[in-house]
Structure 1
Amino acid sequence: MLRVIPAVPTMRVDACSVAAPGQPDNEDQTLQYGDLVAVLDGATAPAGFDTGCRHGPAWYVRRLTARLTLAAATAPADPLAALLAEAVRAVRGDHDGDCDLGHPGTPSSTVCLLRRTSGHLDYLVLCDSPLIVDVAGQVGVVADDRLAATMDRLWQREPPATDTRQEADYRRAVQWQRQHTNTPDGYWVAAADPAAADRALCGTLPLTGPGRVRRAALLTDGATRVVDLFGLLDWPGLLDLLANAGPAELIRRVRAAETDGAVSLTTVPRHKRHDDATAVFCLFDGG
């Protein structure tokens, strides 16, 4: 007797990653290995702050991406959190003992992972690189807002000197952030402790049936600016733009907004005029 095997929905992937203008290195990275896709965003080391490490964030995020790929090749069925923990553990060894990995400023990265299985999508979101999903025509956001919540709580205790948050406020924010990195009362990010992977937001979504995922986007915060900072699109509009024009057009619009007088540093306060920007768009057919 012939056994009918259900068709596995196909996954088409389009990605674009662009460094901030004037910066020599892109501290964002994308990954596509088989059915696994990801975006990672290395935390910029602020000028004048020690990290305890001779390597920079671009080195760290490239190493973490490579180690994630190797972990997925070695154990493709392992939970995403286990793959990330193994990758973080492996990068610890890549430092060759030359760095103080207990330093609060040790290089770190956000992580957003998506993996297609026979009938489902597994996801992992750690820190502020969100996943946007279209489930049966309804757009939702999987976002890890613990960093933003931590900083908002601290700013409420000690408000900034001005609405534009000057250099002194920025340095104070960096110090606060470091004090609350990978702590129960703060936020979690991929750095030197593999245990942070267990604190990621993880879940599974259907790829078949009427409630299936049709589209998804993995974004760094340099790309989400078009929605959550500049307000030029909403999340459904962002998915539509990615579907119709692609990730490169999304980033082009971000760059245009960053230089537009209407969203100057005064009218839209931010610590960096430009940021590395990365978007991965996934389209699922069938099911």
Structure 2
Amino acid sequence: MRTELASEPGDADRPNEDFASVGLPASGQGGSVVVLDGVTPPKAGTGCLHSVPWFTARLGGALTELTVSLPDVPLMDALTRAIARTAEAHASTCDLSHPRTPQATVVAARWNPDAVEYLVLSDSALLVESPDGVVTPLLDDRLALLPRSALTTDALVDSTLRNKEGGFFTAAADPSVARRAVTGTLPRRDVRALAALTDGATRWVERFEEGDWTDCFHLMRKEGPQALVDRVRTLERADSARSFPGRGKSHDDATVVYVEF
């Protein structure tokens, strides 16, 4: 098995708000990948004493432990437990009802000799390659499908769309949000490799349009996850005029985990 991981902050002067892990149980019968993209808080605050990196470390650590220690518990239920555990850790000190309480997107995959289970919540991505080379993106596209006019201000997004029906969902303090995730199970024989990416890395496809998902996967296979991150950074630096509308931050935290069976 080949596993490679690259994670880089968008700004060297700010902490990386992403989280990534690969869990390989001692039994040698499978493994898991967990990738979180922490949502950068607004300047107005979050109602929480803790930073986004604190939150992603807590949630990501809990989800990693649960995917490995409870292999028979579905990923949706593992995420439910991880969110509840994380919320409990700061419920007594923080306002968890605040719409910007620390939160994150989630990608998780877990495999055993028979199956590959997956979960995607919000705008990170999971790419799966079949033995014949077909690359399938597994996405939660609810945010991407919203009209740009609905995303004009943080206040509008928070009041009408964030973690609301008809909008989009992230893992914050409500364990029930796990039921909103895109989930499924694939036969293990149908998966040759997979990759989990935060949106700081997927912009190679989605923002800069340097290639499609298959091209992106082939780049990772040939040159590794760090090469994808490096190419995104080069494109970001070249785009000094911000000629790609809707790109968001000039530089975003970028994380890629690549697993080849």
Compute the TM-score of the two structures, normalised by the length of structure 1.
0.84
Partner of 2:42: 46
Alpha-carbon distance in structure 1 between the residues aligned to 2:241 and 2:248? 8
Partner of 1:19: 9
What letter matches 2:7 in structure 1?
S
Aligned pairs (5 A) from 1:5-84 = 11-34=1-24, 35-47=31-43, 49-84=44-79
Mind listing any 5+ residue stretches in structure 2 that lack a counterpart?
Answer: 25-30
Number of residue-to-residue matches in the alignment: 252
* 143, 146, 149: which one aligns with 1:147: 143
* 89, 114, 117: which one aligns with 2:84: 89
Alpha-carbon distance in structure 2 between the residues aligned to 1:84 and 1:130? 17
1:182-213 deviation per Cα after TM superposition (whole angstroms, max 9, x unaligned): 211211110000000011000111222xxx11
* 147, 150, 155: which one aligns with 1:175: 155
Deviation of residue 149 (structure 1)?
2.1
Alpha-carbon distance in structure 1 between the residues aligned to 2:251 and 2:232? 9
Alpha-carbon distance in structure 1 between the residues aligned to 2:186 and 2:2? 17
Report if the CA contact (8 A) 2:32-2:68 is conserved. Answer: no
Deviation of residue 258 (structure 1)?
0.5
Partner of 1:267: 243
Deviation of residue 140 (structure 1)?
1.3
Partner of 2:260: 283
Report if the CA contact (8 A) 1:265-1:273 is conserved. Answer: no
Alpha-carbon distance in structure 2 between the residues aligned to 1:175 and 1:12? 43
> What is the DSSP-based 3-state SS (H/G/I as helix, E as strand, rest coil) of the residue aligned with 2:218?
helix
Deviation of residue 265 (structure 1)?
4.3
Report if the CA contact (8 A) 1:53-1:98 is conserved. Answer: yes
Answer yes or no: is 1:188 the counterpart of 2:164.
no
Compute the TM-score of the two structures, normalised by the length of structure 2.
0.92
CA RMSD after TM alignment: 1.5
**Cα 1:265–1:22, aligned 2, differ >3 Å: closer, same or farther?**
farther
Alpha-carbon distance in structure 1 between the residues aligned to 2:169 and 2:33? 21
> What is the DSSP-based 3-state SS (H/G/I as helix, E as strand, rest coil) of the residue aligned with 2:144?
helix
Alpha-carbon distance in structure 2 between the residues aligned to 1:254 and 1:36? 26
What letter matches 2:242 in structure 1?
T
Alpha-carbon distance in structure 2 between the residues aligned to 1:12 and 1:123? 19
Report if the CA contact (8 A) 2:67-2:110 is conserved. Answer: no
Partner of 1:8: none
Report if the CA contact (8 A) 1:151-1:177 is conserved. Answer: no
Deviation of residue 21 (structure 1)?
2.6
Deviation of residue 151 (structure 1)?
4.8
Which structure has the greater CA radius of gyration? 1
Report if the CA contact (8 A) 2:19-2:56 is conserved. Answer: yes
1:64-118 deviation per Cα after TM superposition (whole angstroms, max 9, x unaligned): 0111123234422100000001000000111151100001111100000010112
Deviation of residue 152 (structure 1)?
3.3
Moved more, 71-80 or 116-125: 71-80
Report if the CA contact (8 A) 1:215-1:239 is conserved. Answer: no
What letter matches 1:266 in structure 2?
R
* 106, 109, 119: which one aligns with 1:111: 106
Answer yes or no: is 1:245 the counterpart of 2:228.
no
1:18-72 deviation per Cα after TM superposition (whole angstroms, max 9, x unaligned): 111333200011011120111100000122x221111121111011011112323
Deviation of residue 138 (structure 1)?
1.5
Mind listing any 5+ residue stretches in structure 1 that lack a counterpart?
Answer: 1-10, 156-168
Seq. identity, %: 40
Alpha-carbon distance in structure 2 between the residues aligned to 1:41 and 1:226? 16
Alpha-carbon distance in structure 2 between the residues aligned to 1:271 and 1:206? 37
Report if the CA contact (8 A) 1:51-1:104 is conserved. Answer: yes
